[in-house]
Structure 1
Amino acid sequence: MRRFLFMCSVIFSTVFHAQKRPDLIPYPQSVTMQEGKFIIPETLILNDKLPKEETEYFKKRLGSGVKFRNSSKTEGIHLMYMPFPQPKIPIHPEEDKEKYTIDISPQRIFITSNTRQGYFLALQTLAQLFEEHKEDREIPALRIEDQPKFAWRGMHLDVCRHFFNVDEVKQYIDYLAMYKLNTFHWHLTDDQGWRIEIKKYPKLTQIGSKRKESMVGAYVDNTFDRKPYGPYFYTQEQIKDVIKYAQQRHITIVPEIEMPGHALAALSAYPELACTKGPFEAATKWGVFDDVFCPKEETFTFLENVLDEVIALFPSQYIHIGGDECPKTRWKECAHCQELIKKNNLKDEHGLQSYFIQRIEKYVNSKGRKIIGWDEILEGGLAPNAAVMSWTGVNGGIEAAKSSHFAVMTPGAYCYFDHYQGDPQTEPNAFGGFTPLDKVYSYDPIPSELNAEQAKYILGVQANLWTEYITDFKQVQYMIFPRLMALSEVGWGTSDPKNYKEFEGRVISQFKILDKMKVNYARSIYNITGKVFPAGNGISYELNVSQDPKGIRYTTDGTEPSINSQVYQGPIAVSKSLTVKSAYFEDAQLKSAISFQEFKISKTTGKKITLEQQPSENYSFGGAFTLVDGIIGNTRQLGKTWLGFQGKDVVATIDLGQKTNFSEVYFNTLENKGSWIHLAKSAQIFVSDDGNSFKMIKEIGKEEIKNSQGKIKLNVGNQTAKYIKLKIENAGIIPAGNPGADSKAWLFVDEIGAN
């Protein structure tokens, strides 16, 4: 009998401990599964002392699936709340404001927190548990102890390139609240439109909120829709309404008023604020433009008056002042600017930018607020109390933290949601880059270069959604979901890239909630992804899918895959030029988009390659091997097949493995001046037998590269060598008259081949 009881105990214990982890996002810091289940009743009885606004939000989120009734009694209550027991001396009150616990027993649910914000976050967790168990109505008994790692967990929305109405902005805020983000960065002014009513300057919205047309398609196409856009803007009453809505969800709105660059919409209304006379108009193209605010007294008066109205509207501690991508072309040519540089003993125009930012910061500080800006505000010296939003990479955040300034990490390589999230060939047109779900999930906001004390200056993490190619709110939904879920868990501090597949399963579970809400989320997670790697003397192509890989079918003869096509059983050896088409099938039905990858095989394909300088973090997918992976980059998509170098030459050495005969060398480079991408200035080809002593065999200049439109094929005569070195010279500093003048040019390169 004892043995029987012991065995029952073991079986029960095994079943109990094998309970499935709940499908929560972000996953809490601590979840302890316990014995029993809470059966969701038809009517949930609530303690009438629950914080009212937050509880009403919870009831609305659950919808019609559960009825509610309030009670003042202590017995029979299903949902109760109380503050944490208070210590005699408060400990970290600011850090603990988002802390909460949830205890779920078979009898009731007990939430503990010190603040309504903590209670609200607990309700987000509880709502996910209710939604997960909507069908069986049995929530497992458990204890959750939870609080976020980072104080700033943000999402940005650009409403200047394309506008989104108040109801859509409120929906966006709801998405943030669902996944415990707490900061909404509202990008309200830019070259293409001014979107906030300023009563003192009515022409900002009368003139600056509209443009005569908009660029459509890829930038290289240079085509326009020929349709007037606007006027679109938010009245101050609408902004107050949105702020109140966000406050009810414990979300801080940080407004952004761009300066000194990205100012064309403002200058179209008030041209006297520029260095030249104009006239100006709101930009119809995307990109960066030379005409910026001139740092003269009437400009500072204008901006201070604008900020007065912004500060009166927004209660946020930080006001975002932009500060990015400010060309110095007009300042160099402006007598007033040059006199200002001399008068204030500034080093140059970068020093003038610092002067500009510091004046604005001093004014904002005088109003009891702080400024935050993109990492270019570091140029010429950082303003004394400014925080930095590090977007060009992690270096801006590192520099800020090391100098005891706060920073929010938002590097483009991980946090730009206008990038492609799936194979660019199967995705809607996007700005460029390649930032899939797993890459977002892999991000650690604290750079390894910082010590523990410096790391305290990293406020948190944010993702940005620029809307050049996002024309409606359905596309906004598509671009943020499901990547917002990965950002949420990164910001909460519980992401674990080693367990990405487990996270992916929780994401798929969350899709049921998004389906109920009719959210147009990206289904790229279901599509097949491919990875190229060297194998033997060539390459292999590995296919992956979030479901059972046995459902993958593929072809290599150009035909469309069907249920009767080859079953994927492992990496596909690619030894000749061909196209692999693949798709996922379930129950004999096509469940994914058809993915296709064309390979062009040459004598360099799959060979060892080294780079003297590494590409920019934003455009480094696949590293150096991308240049010999057999894939020719699409000139209309700056996705995963190009490497991008800002201000750097490309010096690549390819080890062919043995002495090899060849007579042609080819590579591709891009031109897209609106995005600061310029064709190479020159290129040289070298050969060597030992990898040390190289001989130049071919050189071409700018005109020849321009005439070839970046598609370079060079006859190098009959050559025999073990090593090929290619040096591709960057265009250098962008000349006046071009977008981004005075900045470092980008050089994009894809496949380097030899035949």
Structure 2
Amino acid sequence: MIRILLILFLLSFSKFFSQNRLNLIPYPQKVEFLEGEFLIPEEFNLDENLPKEETEYLKKRLEGVVKFSYGKKDEGVHLVYSLYPPVLSHLPKNDEQQKERYSIYISPKRIVINSYTKQGYFLAIQTFIQLIEQYKEIGKIPALKIKDQPKFAWRGMHLDVCRHFFTVEEVKQYIDYLAMYKLNTFHWHLTDDQGWRIEIKKYPKLTQIGSRRKESMIGAYVDNTFDGKPYGPYFYTQEQIKEVVDYAKECHITVVPEIEMPGHALAALSAYPELACTKGPFEPATKWGVFDDVFCPKEETFTFLQNVLDEMIALFPSEYIHIGGDECPKTRWKECAHCQDLIKKNNLKDEHGLQSYFIQRIEKFVNKKGRKIIGWDEILEGGLAPNAAVMSWTGVNGGIEAAKSNHFAVMTPGSYCYFDHYQGDPATEPNAFGGFTPLDKVYSYNPIPSELTLEQSKYILGVQANLWTEYILDFKRVQYMIFPRLLALSEVGWGTADSKNYKEFEGRVIEQFKTLDKMNINYSRSIYNISGIVISKDNSIGYELSTSQNPSGIRYTLDGSEPTISSPTYQNPISISKSLTLKSAYFEQGKLKSAISSQDFITSKTTGKSIKLEEQPNENYSFGGAFTLVDGIIGNQRQLGKTWLGFQGKDVVATIDLEQKTQFSEVYFNTLENKGSWIHLAKSAQIFVSDDNQNFKMIKEIGKEEIQKAKGKIRLNVGNQTSKYIKVKIENAGIIPAGNPGADSKAWLFVDEIGVN
């Protein structure tokens, strides 16, 4: 009897949930449930007024799920379409979101879709498909009204095909994924140091030479190992480009092409070395990173780029052309007589002014062709071109600066929107570029910076995520890295994401996995795995475990052994009072359902203590904030995951309150070297002590040679000390010297656990 009552309760709860929350991503702006239900027929009778191309897409997506046929209105048509009044010509010309507005009215008799445009109808179709997928097994959809439109006009995904190449069919699949979740912009990264991927008929050597490289870097960057295998030639013919653009148009997606300039140009310079400041020879890069050889701003270079842009503009009808503009070292320009003469001739302040001169010349040409340029936020260097839009990736400041100067911006900060970052515990994830951007962090992003006024915020076009492919060798890995994070991006761009309701969103994501399974998409299941966060607890630390499933299924051990169903059940944050290895996993019905997560803790007299930083880490590498330096976790020097703090151009000055006078004789910390990613070991370090947090005395200092000898793993004997406060100052390497990737830019300093014994 009890079992029967439980089943009835679960059924009623399921019905209640379905009646009050739809399994839709992105969630609509407004949903109103009505009386009654629409019985899903075996065959939908379609209004003959339905837009044909979009309806054919609908039929293809639901092939094998339901059937469709065209009928007459007086024969009980199930799916009806009509245009909103007023007609499109009455809409404000600058209101793109209105063009994407739609409504769906589901009554017991029929489903009516309204929109201003075919684009709006196409978006309504995506909602309709998800409703059918949710309710097909039940056989009926609750009567309801949906009124919907996106918050942001630019909802984008980027794909780098230069580091690793993907076929036309794979690119089309990528576009399909964007369409499914109502994204409307595909940013196609077509040129870089490691490969030129688009046919330019006027310059055939770009693909003859620039589309191949002799080998590729493999493994972690610090390993500096290569596969020894020639890569390429890989590129898209102009006919293939047209095919992709036409396909995207059918999905109401704009393709924004990117050609990199003035930096990231090695593949082009390999084919046409006369466009560089030096004679070369050059070859497409085999390593990942940033390189000194860039386009030289001379007339033949501008002629070349204008000819290339002519052919690209003919292929891509998009309003914007992306011209890169990021990570352009000034080393060659500083040494180039022509560049220095150009600076003097045009009264430019310096090489940054020369970059602005370069971008402005390109912009004038693109504007004459009736198009606009967009570039990464480094195009702000030396002054922004008059009509340029900014893609803010190094953080949010580029977007803020652009909007405050009445320039449009697309927000794509690495800390939230770089899908080449880890999305789960790096120990259980495939090799990634670095960083830590899990699903909940993507979902928490608000593209409108709080620093902007309401009027300034109108210049934020929208949001985009980027997929760089240094460590993504095939399309299955592409799928893995974008799913399910693309679903969070979708809802952020639509404007209905609310981080307070993350768990509810996570439940909808898990329901969407059924669709991804049917489509044979290789998505990440990291949200099923156990995630851990170190918290301050009882004058020490605690380890808080969580999972998307029932937390009572979490089992853990503290002796390094593998957890089993008989291991302790997780209930509250686990106190960590000594060095140990904690392993955890999720079990369901007695069976292991997740990867086994493992975390080593190395405790010291600073573990869990109060810590303050004079300068805050860069937002891309700030997970856990200052507390990360006293959380008992030693970072992996081969992975830039969540255990490191990154500072660009800043020193680390950390003051730790030991709470009482404490004896110690050793201080340790770790820094990192990865010059290809602009990460350099510290220049020096000093240790200070104090009893009042006001007057500090230096007790130890080391220089660059000692730090290099220790390879960043610093262990300092400071003699017998007794103090209440300890201050550690770790000096950034400063400006990267010539001959290194990123020369003339601010070096990164990565710092890990600061311990005292």
TM-score by length of 1: 0.97
Code of the aligned partner of 1:38: F
Candidates 310, 313, 320, aligned match of 2:315: 313
Whole-angstrom CA distance in 2 between matches of 1:683 and 1:73? 80
Candidates 595, 598, 605, aligned match of 2:597: 595
Whole-angstrom CA distance in 2 between matches of 1:498 and 1:380? 40
2:680 pairs with 1:681: no
Whole-angstrom CA distance in 1 between matches of 2:755 and 2:512? 44
Kindly state the Cα deviation for residue 106 of structure 1 after the two structures are TM-superposed.
Answer: 1.0
Aligned alpha-carbon RMSD (Å):
1.3
Q: Judging changes above 3 Å, is the alpha-carbon distance between structure 1 residues 258 and 87 closer, same or farther for their aligned structure 2 residues? A: closer
Question: For 1:304, what is the secondary structure of its paired residue?
Answer: helix
Q: Judging changes above 3 Å, is the alpha-carbon distance between structure 1 residues 576 and 17 closer, same or farther for their aligned structure 2 residues? A: closer
Whole-angstrom CA distance in 2 between matches of 1:708 and 1:727? 17
Counterpart contact for 1:626–1:751, Cα < 8 Å: yes
Counterpart contact for 2:88–2:117, Cα < 8 Å: no
For residue 32 of structure 1, what is the aligned residue in structure 2? 32
Code of the aligned partner of 2:86: Q
Q: Judging changes above 3 Å, is the alpha-carbon distance between structure 1 residues 88 and 556 closer, same or farther for their aligned structure 2 residues? A: closer
Kindly state the Cα deviation for residue 133 of structure 1 after the two structures are TM-superposed.
Answer: 1.4
- Please identify runs of 4+ aligned residues in structure 1 that moved more than 4 A: 14-18
Kindly state the Cα deviation for residue 87 of structure 1 after the two structures are TM-superposed.
Answer: 7.2
Instruction: State percent identity of aligned pairs.
Output: 80
Counterpart contact for 1:102–1:109, Cα < 8 Å: yes
Code of the aligned partner of 1:27: Y
Question: For 1:566, what is the secondary structure of its paired residue?
Answer: coil
For residue 623 of structure 1, what is the aligned residue in structure 2? 625
Kindly state the Cα deviation for residue 534 of structure 1 after the two structures are TM-superposed.
Answer: 1.1
Code of the aligned partner of 1:430: A
Whole-angstrom CA distance in 2 between matches of 1:448 and 1:571? 33
For residue 8 of structure 1, what is the aligned residue in structure 2? none
Kindly state the Cα deviation for residue 37 of structure 1 after the two structures are TM-superposed.
Answer: 1.2
Whole-angstrom CA distance in 2 between matches of 1:531 and 1:523? 19
Kindly state the Cα deviation for residue 20 of structure 1 after the two structures are TM-superposed.
Answer: 3.3
Kindly state the Cα deviation for residue 529 of structure 1 after the two structures are TM-superposed.
Answer: 0.4
Code of the aligned partner of 2:258: E
Give CA deviations for 1:125-172 in whole Å, capped at 9, x if unaligned.
000000111211211111000000000000000000000000000000
Candidates 100, 106, 109, aligned match of 1:107: 109
Question: For 2:90, what is the secondary structure of its paired residue?
Answer: coil
Candidates 524, 530, 533, aligned match of 2:532: 530
For residue 513 of structure 1, what is the aligned residue in structure 2? 515
Candidates 732, 739, 742, aligned match of 2:741: 739
Candidates 435, 438, 446, aligned match of 2:437: 435
For residue 421 of structure 2, what is the aligned residue in structure 1? 419
Question: For 1:726, what is the secondary structure of its paired residue?
Answer: strand
Q: What does 1:160-309 correspond to in 2, within 5 Å?
A: 160-309=162-311
Candidates 694, 701, 704, aligned match of 1:699: 701
2:75 pairs with 1:80: no
Code of the aligned partner of 2:544: E
Kindly state the Cα deviation for residue 17 of structure 1 after the two structures are TM-superposed.
Answer: 9.5
Counterpart contact for 1:33–1:142, Cα < 8 Å: yes
Code of the aligned partner of 1:356: F
Whole-angstrom CA distance in 1 between matches of 2:114 and 2:263? 47
For residue 3 of structure 1, what is the aligned residue in structure 2? none
Q: What does 1:598-747 correspond to in 2, within 5 Å?
A: 598-747=600-749
Q: Judging changes above 3 Å, is the alpha-carbon distance between structure 1 residues 359 and 74 closer, same or farther for their aligned structure 2 residues? A: farther
Question: For 2:354, what is the secondary structure of its paired residue?
Answer: helix
Q: Judging changes above 3 Å, is the alpha-carbon distance between structure 1 residues 18 and 69 closer, same or farther for their aligned structure 2 residues? A: closer
Whole-angstrom CA distance in 2 between matches of 1:305 and 1:571? 62
For residue 61 of structure 1, what is the aligned residue in structure 2? 61
Counterpart contact for 1:47–1:74, Cα < 8 Å: no
Question: For 2:289, what is the secondary structure of its paired residue?
Answer: coil
Whole-angstrom CA distance in 1 between matches of 2:627 and 2:258? 39
For residue 475 of structure 2, what is the aligned residue in structure 1? 473
Whole-angstrom CA distance in 2 between matches of 1:425 and 1:92? 51
Give CA deviations for 1:436-494 in whole Å, capped at 9, x if unaligned.
00000000000000001000000000000000000000000000000000000000000
Counterpart contact for 2:196–2:207, Cα < 8 Å: yes
Question: For 2:479, what is the secondary structure of its paired residue?
Answer: helix
For residue 395 of structure 2, what is the aligned residue in structure 1? 393
Counterpart contact for 1:17–1:33, Cα < 8 Å: no
Code of the aligned partner of 2:224: N
Code of the aligned partner of 1:196: I
Whole-angstrom CA distance in 1 between matches of 2:350 and 2:567? 65
Code of the aligned partner of 1:610: K
Code of the aligned partner of 2:82: M
For residue 49 of structure 1, what is the aligned residue in structure 2? 49
Whole-angstrom CA distance in 1 between matches of 2:583 and 2:244? 47
Kindly state the Cα deviation for residue 431 of structure 1 after the two structures are TM-superposed.
Answer: 0.2
Unaligned runs of at least 5 residues, structure 1: 1-11
Code of the aligned partner of 1:40: I
Whole-angstrom CA distance in 1 between matches of 2:343 and 2:171? 42
Counterpart contact for 2:412–2:465, Cα < 8 Å: yes
Whole-angstrom CA distance in 1 between matches of 2:303 and 2:74? 60
For residue 463 of structure 1, what is the aligned residue in structure 2? 465
Give CA deviations for 1:270-314 in whole Å, capped at 9, x if unaligned.
000000000000000000000000000000000000000000000
Whole-angstrom CA distance in 1 between matches of 2:739 and 2:231? 26
Kindly state the Cα deviation for residue 73 of structure 1 after the two structures are TM-superposed.
Answer: 3.0
Give CA deviations for 1:612-667 in whole Å, capped at 9, x if unaligned.
00000000000000000000000011000000000000000000000000000000
For residue 92 of structure 1, what is the aligned residue in structure 2? 92
Whole-angstrom CA distance in 2 between matches of 1:656 and 1:325? 41
Whole-angstrom CA distance in 1 between matches of 2:85 and 2:542? 60
Give CA deviations for 1:666-703 in whole Å, capped at 9, x if unaligned.
00000000000000000000000000000000000000
Code of the aligned partner of 1:80: V
Kindly state the Cα deviation for residue 36 of structure 1 after the two structures are TM-superposed.
Answer: 1.3
Code of the aligned partner of 2:741: P
Whole-angstrom CA distance in 2 between matches of 1:430 and 1:88? 45
Deviates more, 1:157-166 or 1:134-143: 134-143
Give CA deviations for 1:104-136 in whole Å, capped at 9, x if unaligned.
011100000010000000000000000111211
Whole-angstrom CA distance in 2 between matches of 1:460 and 1:684? 44
Q: Judging changes above 3 Å, is the alpha-carbon distance between structure 1 residues 62 and 646 closer, same or farther for their aligned structure 2 residues? A: same
Q: What does 1:439-458 correspond to in 2, within 5 Å?
A: 439-458=441-460
Give CA deviations for 1:52-88 in whole Å, capped at 9, x if unaligned.
0000001111121111110133440000000012279
Whole-angstrom CA distance in 2 between matches of 1:49 and 1:396? 46
2:549 pairs with 1:547: yes
Question: For 2:719, what is the secondary structure of its paired residue?
Answer: strand
For residue 159 of structure 1, what is the aligned residue in structure 2? 161
TM-score by length of 2: 0.97
Counterpart contact for 1:551–1:567, Cα < 8 Å: yes
Whole-angstrom CA distance in 2 between matches of 1:545 and 1:66? 35
For residue 493 of structure 1, what is the aligned residue in structure 2? 495
Give CA deviations for 1:80-103 in whole Å, capped at 9, x if unaligned.
000012279824353310000000
Q: Judging changes above 3 Å, is the alpha-carbon distance between structure 1 residues 58 and 688 closer, same or farther for their aligned structure 2 residues? A: same
Counterpart contact for 1:16–1:35, Cα < 8 Å: no
Code of the aligned partner of 1:704: E
Whole-angstrom CA distance in 1 between matches of 2:695 and 2:16? 68
Q: Judging changes above 3 Å, is the alpha-carbon distance between structure 1 residues 155 and 89 closer, same or farther for their aligned structure 2 residues? A: closer
For residue 9 of structure 1, what is the aligned residue in structure 2? none
Code of the aligned partner of 1:366: K
Whole-angstrom CA distance in 1 between matches of 2:708 and 2:241? 49
* Aligned residue pair count: 744
Candidates 331, 334, 346, aligned match of 1:332: 334
